[in-house]
Chains A and B, each alone.
Chain A
Amino acid sequence: MNSNRKLVAMMLCLALIAIVVACAPAPTTAPTAAAPKPTEAPKPTAPPAAAKQTLVVYTAKEPDEIKDYLEIAKKELPDLELEVLRLSTGDLTARLLAEKNNPRADVIWGTAATSMIIFENQGMLEPYAPKGVESILPTFKSPKSPPTWVGVDAYETAFCFNTDVAKKQNLPKPTSWADLTKPVYKGQIVMPNPASSGTGYMFVSSVLQGLGKDKGWAFLDELDKNMAQYTKSGSKPCKLAGTGEFAVGISFGFVGLGLKKGGAPLELIWPTEGAGFEVEANALVKGTKKVDAAKKFLDWAIGDSAMKAYAKYFAIMAKGGFPPPEGYPTDIAAKLFKMDHQWSSDNRDAVLKEWTTRYSAKAEK
């Protein structure tokens, strides 16, 4: 009996230890979870006196970038504990809209200007002029004063083309939107779902703006015939092209360059009709209780060190003076399509609705 009782006690102890250990702060370099109780021991890196303030940040930036940025943020904003939710642009937009009356985010970071305009119209943003906002180019921030959102950079449409698959299957290199509708690419193209991905919407929007509504939709109909999948995320088509799962991924430039550097047999193509682009912007969420901390973060997010970090990934910056990342053509600005972001924003609902009724069957689940 005694031994049994001991055994039970031992098991309970084990379980307790497991819980205690599990609740203790996790050793991690990235944003940590809020401790379950405010009375938990302070994080090892925190200065003993100052309690860290937790800030909930919603972003649509790519995971690999976020890692770099957060390392800097950790050094430069030591008293902020950043809880970052990363979702694709569409999902993030839907989530923010759904949480409108009960917002959980304190700041929105690096999210499509198109979405920012929607949030602004819904009265979800608190105007704020972060330190140094005057140096941001006017087309990259909301025209209001103080601005409701402030852009930092922009990404542009690019095709990722797997040369290895092309060789095996005898595929020509597509150089324009029009090329993509050729029957030879049937089942070989992947692009992001515009309903969930900012990259996807940017492409659809540029096509509709470039060709006009009727011709635009006709083109998208043709493209759909060749489309293998509409992915949820904007970078995934390029990654799929990178592994040779599909030959062409409609994506954005930097992800392709990164994969290429990593050894993927990819070629980057900026379409001859012009590459659509989208500004990534930051904003303060209306109703947040942590205004000071949020402002501190927003100041940092357009500060020099942050901008320098963005510039490692982006060729198009909201401020002059950053060289484009390695591998980018120097004349990237000339390859861009002249986007009307107000149009993108105003028509977003209608376009997505139309798009969903036409093509949602192939959307990735």
Chain B
Amino acid sequence: MNGSATSVLAAPSVVDSRLSRQRVHQRLGVEGLLIRLLITLFAVWLGAFLVLPLLQVLLRSLQSKTGEFVGLANYVAYFATPAISRALGNSLYVSIVSMVVTVGLALVYAYALVRTTMPGRGILRTLAMLPIFAPSLMQALAFIYIFGNNGIFTRLTGINIRLYGSTGIIMSEVFYAFPHVLIVLITAFSLADARLYEAAQALGASSRRIFFTVTLPSIRYGLISAAFVAFTLAITDFGAPKVVGGDYDVLATDIYNKVIGQQDFGMGATISVLLLIPAVLAFIIDRIVQRRQVAQVTASSTPLGPKRHGRVTQAVFFAYCLLIVGFILSVYGVVLVGAFAKNWPYDFSFTLKHFDFYSMGGYKVLWNSLQMATITALIGTILVFCSAYLVEKTKVWAQGRSVVYLLSIMPLAIPGTVLGLAYIFSFNDPRSPINFLYGTMGILVLSTIVHYYTVPYLTATTALKQIDPEFEAIGASLDAPFYRTFWRVTVPMALPAIISIAMYFFLNAMVTISAAVFLFVPGKELAALAVMLLDDSGESAQAMAMSSLIISIGLGARVVFYLLTRGIERRSQAWTRR
């Protein structure tokens, strides 16, 4: 039904307006009921583990330490103490600076990867992804070893960059957010329409002019998305400020200090709400922009491939990428050296003693993490894919489906620390019906699934959209219940997406600390938490040893997932290749 048809029609349509409000509703049948039930279950699940806990945070922020309703008194108290409320400004400052720096660095990198023909683009792309495999506080630890008062760089050059404070936080956030932003920008560059460039070139525009008049505008939505990703990661991150923050307060660590250090839940909740505001705002802006972007990419646009640039330009890009990758690798190198050196920085002889992890109960924490990540990947993938399927592919109950959709994209705006605190409020209350989950692996799994729900959900939705929308109709006409077509057709077809969802959950579960830091109990420490706890007690070598193990597991998992995908592709080649 295109626009022109509608406009021609406007005049003679003489349907009684009452009719358009009527509808002959189909009988639900067993399947319709089942679908409604499932949609309800998903809505209830997300309501119980996302909305209610967050409401608790809001409620607690209005209560005193002893639980009386005090209105906005906590907020007043917060802003009345400049030493404390400074954190809000600090958070915004480091997040905005990290955002600008990350997007700037990644923009050039992404351009070099997508648009130039420089050598080694594949490996440069892979190496740039490395920071994804590490917990966010690892690079901060490594930065201390490199740029700290007694770091290698400092000692070699005699330049002390004054790492502790905003400098260290910004550096760590940039390092941490770089691959995430890079992915978004690579996609944006790849989606740009080649025909525009051809037109600009035909008109004789210089390459600089093309960059500013065509390239930048065409990736503007991607840029905004990338900025959102960088900003959100920075403002919600908890690991880096904790390690290199020095006397520089930010919101995410403040929540932790108030709650874990001082057990002041009311103030923790208050700061959480303050942290939620910028995160949610950024999220809303991004959603609006995303909606526009869909309209921008038309079916007729031609994707743009790499293009040969001038020799010098190409060399500059190549050198730039090498520089960045070199930096990433040297950070990883420092972690490895730190993990294996007997007594950094005085005795570099090889030792395995830092891999003892006696204070963490040996390898139990890794085991816990592995277990948690596996269960998270399994359950998370099933939940995400099934809910995306119900929303995307079933026809009944549009309102119910849109509620599930909305709840599914919400977690992206919720900082992990806030979620963790929200879960304490919801679970650590003996009156709560789900109190039994507190202190179990279950709550860690749940919080991780909810925390990382949105990105896999959108991945699943995209994958499902690419599957012929008529399959369900065909299935119904052939008397197949929806779940049969789901299992026999939809799932096999979406298998690559399903695997990448599982991988996303697994990798994030391996490195997450922000929510888990509130929820772990003795015996349930995770490896990434152990890195933090080890650093807390000054065991940086052990923290690095643990980090390197986490990275190894992440890389190992990546390889396993890669092989799985390859296997599936080979098996499905029969039906994907002509």
Q: Among A18, A28, A91, which residue has its beta carbon within 8 angstroms of that of B364?
A: A28
Q: List the A side residues contacting B245 at CB < 8 Å.
A: 364-365
Q: List the A side residues contacting B378 at CB < 8 Å.
A: 15, 18-19
Q: List the A side residues contacting B441 at CB < 8 Å.
A: 36
Tell me, rounded to whole Å, the shortest Cβ–Cβ distance linking A65 to chain B: 9
Asked if B461 is at the interface of the complex by the 8 Å CB criterion, the answer is: no
Tell me, rounded to whole Å, the shortest Cβ–Cβ distance linking B147 to chain A: 11
Q: List the A side residues contacting B537 at CB < 8 Å.
A: 62-63, 88, 233, 235-236, 239
8 Å CB contacts to B: which residues of A76-98? 83-86, 88, 90-91, 94-95, 97-98
**Using a CB–CB distance below 8 Å, which chain B residues touch chain A?**
83, 144, 148-150, 164, 241-242, 245-247, 249-250, 253-254, 256-257, 260-263, 342-347, 358-364, 367-368, 370-371, 374-375, 377-378, 428, 430, 439-441, 488, 491-492, 495, 521-524, 533, 536-540, 564, 567-568, 571-572
Q: Within the assembled complex, what's the spacing in Å between the Cα atoms of A81 and B257?
A: 31
Asked if A23 is at the interface of the complex by the 8 Å CB criterion, the answer is: yes
In the bound complex, do residue B440 and residue A4 qualify as a contact, i.e. CB atoms below 8 Å apart?
no
Q: List the A side residues contacting B256 at CB < 8 Å.
A: 365
Q: List the B side residues contacting A7 at CB < 8 Å.
A: 495, 567-568, 571
Contacts A263-B342, A362-B246, A363-B257; A239 near B374 (Cβ below 8 A): no
In the bound complex, do residue A94 and residue B261 qualify as a contact, i.e. CB atoms below 8 Å apart?
yes
New A-B pairs, 16, CB < 8 Å, besides A30-B360, A88-B537, A265-B346: A8-B495, A22-B371, A22-B374, A30-B364, A91-B261, A228-B164, A233-B536, A240-B538, A243-B540, A244-B149, A263-B343, A361-B247, A362-B246, A365-B250, A365-B254, A365-B257
Q: Within the assembled complex, what's the spacing in Å between the Cα atoms of A29 and B361?
A: 7
Asked if A66 is at the interface of the complex by the 8 Å CB criterion, the answer is: yes
Asked if A67 is at the interface of the complex by the 8 Å CB criterion, the answer is: yes
In the bound complex, do residue B367 and residue A94 qualify as a contact, i.e. CB atoms below 8 Å apart?
no
A-B residue pairs in contact (CB < 8 Å), sample of 21: A19-B374, A28-B362, A30-B358, A32-B361, A32-B523, A56-B522, A64-B358, A83-B523, A86-B359, A94-B261, A95-B260, A228-B246, A245-B144, A246-B149, A262-B343, A263-B342, A263-B343, A264-B346, A360-B83, A361-B247, A365-B250
Q: List the A side residues contacting B375 at CB < 8 Å.
A: 19, 22
In the bound complex, do residue A28 and residue B164 qualify as a contact, i.e. CB atoms below 8 Å apart?
no
Q: Within the assembled complex, what's the spacing in Å between the Cα atoms of A233 and B543?
A: 15
Q: List the A side residues contacting B377 at CB < 8 Å.
A: 15
Asked if A102 is at the interface of the complex by the 8 Å CB criterion, the answer is: yes
Interface on chain A toward B: helix, strand, loop, or mixed SS? mixed
Q: List the A side residues contacting B539 at CB < 8 Å.
A: 63, 239
Q: Within the assembled complex, what's the spacing in Å between the Cα atoms of A23 and B367?
A: 9
Closest to A11 in B: B564
Q: Among A15, A67, A233, which residue has its beta carbon within 8 angstroms of that of B358?
A: A67
**Using a CB–CB distance below 8 Å, which chain A residues touch chain B?**
1, 3-4, 7-8, 11, 15, 18-19, 22-23, 26-34, 36, 56-58, 62-64, 66-67, 83-86, 88, 90-91, 94-95, 97-98, 102, 104, 164-165, 195-196, 228-229, 231-233, 235-240, 242-246, 262-265, 357, 360-365
In the bound complex, do residue A164 and residue B346 qualify as a contact, i.e. CB atoms below 8 Å apart?
yes
In the bound complex, do residue A104 and residue B521 qualify as a contact, i.e. CB atoms below 8 Å apart?
yes
Q: Within the assembled complex, what's the spacing in Å between the Cα atoms of A19 and B342?
A: 36
Q: List the B side residues contacting A88 at CB < 8 Å.
A: 536-537
Q: Within the assembled complex, what's the spacing in Å between the Cα atoms of A1 and B55?
A: 47
In the bound complex, do residue A365 and residue B346 qualify as a contact, i.e. CB atoms below 8 Å apart?
no
Tell me, rounded to whole Å, the shortest Cβ–Cβ distance linking B442 to chain A: 9
Q: List the B side residues contacting A11 at CB < 8 Å.
A: 564
Q: List the B side residues contacting A56 at CB < 8 Å.
A: 522
In the bound complex, do residue B261 and residue A90 qualify as a contact, i.e. CB atoms below 8 Å apart?
yes
Q: Among A31, A263, A360, A365, which residue has its beta carbon within 8 angstroms of that of B241?
A: A365
Q: Within the assembled complex, what's the spacing in Å between the Cα atoms of A164 and B150?
A: 11
Q: List the B side residues contacting A22 at CB < 8 Å.
A: 367, 370-371, 374-375
Q: Within the assembled complex, what's the spacing in Å between the Cα atoms of A31 and B362?
A: 9
In the bound complex, do residue B362 and residue A66 qualify as a contact, i.e. CB atoms below 8 Å apart?
no
Contacts A243-B345, A262-B343; A26 near B363 (Cβ below 8 A): yes
Q: Within the assembled complex, what's the spacing in Å between the Cα atoms of A63 and B539?
A: 10
In the bound complex, do residue A15 and residue B144 qualify as a contact, i.e. CB atoms below 8 Å apart?
no
Q: Among B249, B263, B572, which residue has its beta carbon within 8 angstroms of that of A4?
A: B572
Tell me, rounded to whole Å, the shortest Cβ–Cβ distance linking B494 to chain A: 11
Q: List the B side residues contacting A66 at CB < 8 Å.
A: 358-359
Tell me, rounded to whole Å, the shortest Cβ–Cβ distance linking A71 to chain B: 9
Q: Among A242, A245, A365, which residue has its beta carbon within 8 angstroms of that of B149?
A: A245
In the bound complex, do residue A28 and residue B564 qualify as a contact, i.e. CB atoms below 8 Å apart?
no
Q: List the A side residues contacting B144 at CB < 8 Å.
A: 245
List of 9 A-B pairs having minimum Cβ-Cβ separation, nearest first: A63-B359, A239-B538, A22-B371, A236-B538, A67-B358, A30-B361, A244-B150, A365-B253, A85-B522
In the bound complex, do residue A18 and residue B374 qualify as a contact, i.e. CB atoms below 8 Å apart?
yes
Q: Among A4, A34, A239, A265, which residue has its beta carbon within 8 angstroms of that of B523?
A: A34
In the bound complex, do residue B522 and residue A83 qualify as a contact, i.e. CB atoms below 8 Å apart?
yes
Q: List the B side residues contacting A23 at CB < 8 Å.
A: 371
Most buried by B among A58, A62, A365: A365
Contacts A18-B374, A228-B164, A263-B342; A361 near B359 (Cβ below 8 A): no
Closest to A237 in B: B538
Contacts A3-B571, A22-B367, A32-B523; A196 near B261 (Cβ below 8 A): yes
Q: List the A side residues contacting B370 at CB < 8 Å.
A: 22
Q: Within the assembled complex, what's the spacing in Å between the Cα atoms of A22 and B441?
A: 11
Contacts A4-B492, A228-B164, A263-B343; A28 near B247 (Cβ below 8 A): no
Closest to A32 in B: B364
In the bound complex, do residue B538 and residue A238 qualify as a contact, i.e. CB atoms below 8 Å apart?
yes
Q: Within the assembled complex, what's the spacing in Å between the Cα atoms of A263 and B572?
A: 59
Q: List the B side residues contacting A28 at CB < 8 Å.
A: 361-364, 367
Closest to A71 in B: B358
